[in-house]
Amino acid sequence: MRKKRPKVRKYKIPVKSKQEKVYSVAEMNAIEDHITNTYGSIEGIIHDQNKSKLHIDLVLVAPDEIRPYWKIVTMGMGKYKMKPEDPFSNEIPRCELVMAVEPAWDYRNLFPTDKHLIYSHPNKDKSVSYKYPIKVLREIAISPLEDNFFLKAPCTFDFQELELDVKTDLNDFLILNAQDVKPDENIAILPNGDPVVFYQVVPITTAERLTLMEPDHFEETVTKINYIFWPGRKSVV
């Protein structure tokens, strides 16, 4: 009598999700070198563990004599090449973001001192001011890819649904060319020759954003706004 074959269980092989866009090691080194040469020695890196479509690390540069405030710079946004409305435009389609933050902001009480052991999950018992620049920068950095638009300066953002968990009136954002740097210092060059422009993210009030949208008042208003993030800053209008 023929022996009955055992039943074979079939398992569905999991399909890998679409690979997130992430810099190569050479590209990452080019961005790190630019940050170091422009803003100073890197204090640490907050690694992206969110597994989004675009891998966004955040590079931290501590206050110094030249720039006495924290510089938080995205590293990964430039992997995505934005599509300009005009295909013949000479606008740079790759960019990174930088935010200037008050000198009192300090990650060193939240993470290990070794800059290679910095993780992206903050201690909930610590100051909420830590979360603000991290959340804002990542939200703006991913928006050109998710919303399919070309980011350039100047422009404004209004994240009504973004929960910032910080007591401040600065819930809107202005995008400018990088501040406190020379004109030729706001562009990094990737190994393939592609330029990456750096834009400043400036937290502003809703009243300031509405005033900046009026062409006749833009220049006068923008010169009054402090580009360094201070949670208690009052509106200039």
In a domain? residue 20: no
In a domain? residue 58: yes
More confident residue, 131 or 200: 200
In a domain? residue 16: no
Q: Average pLDDT for residues 51-66, to the nearest whole number? A: 88
Query: Which of the listed ranges 34-48, 50-64, 153-167 does the model predict with the highest average pLDDT?
Result: 34-48
Residue 124's pLDDT is 40
Residue 230's pLDDT is 87
- pTM for the model stands at 0.82
Percent residues over pLDDT 70 in the chain: 77
In a domain? residue 13: no
- Residue 76 has, within 13 A of its CA and on its CB side, a CA count of 26
In a domain? residue 10: no
In a domain? residue 139: yes
Residue 211's pLDDT is 93
What are the C-alpha distances in Å from 156 to residues 173, 193, 224? 5, 29, 16
- pLDDT exceeds 80 at position 23: yes
DSSP type of residue 82: -
Structural domain of 224: 25-229
User: For residues 150 and 38, what is the distance between their CA atoms, to the nearest angstrom?
Assistant: 25
In a domain? residue 91: yes
DSSP type of residue 65: S
Residue 48's pLDDT is 79
Q: What rounded mean pLDDT belongs to the chain? A: 81
Tally of domains within the chain: 1
> Which residues share a beta bridge with 72?
60, 99
More confident residue, 184 or 237: 237
In a domain? residue 237: no
Residue 209's pLDDT is 93
- pLDDT exceeds 60 at position 125: no
Question: What does the pLDDT look like over 162-190, one tens digit per residue?
Answer: 666 567 788 889 999 999 998 888 999 99
Q: Average pLDDT for residues 69-73, to the nearest whole number? A: 95
More confident residue, 1 or 202: 202
